Amino acid sequence: MVRIQVTEHRFINIHRSSLCDNCSVQNCTSLIDSRVTDCRDFKPIFSVFLKCRACGRIYDPYRSLCSLDYELCPECNHSVDNAPSITFVCRE
Please give the Cα distance from 1 to 25 (Å, whole number): 20
Do residues 62 and 78 make contact, with C-beta atoms less than 8 angstroms apart? no
**pLDDT reported for residue 67:** 79
Chain segment 19-71, per-residue pLDDT in tens: 888 888 887 776 666 778 888 888 888 888 889 988 999 998 888 777 788 88
Whole-number CA gyration radius for the chain: 16
The pTM (predicted TM-score) of the whole model is 0.67
For the chain, where are the E strands, in sequence order?
Answer: 2-5, 11-14, 50-51, 58-59
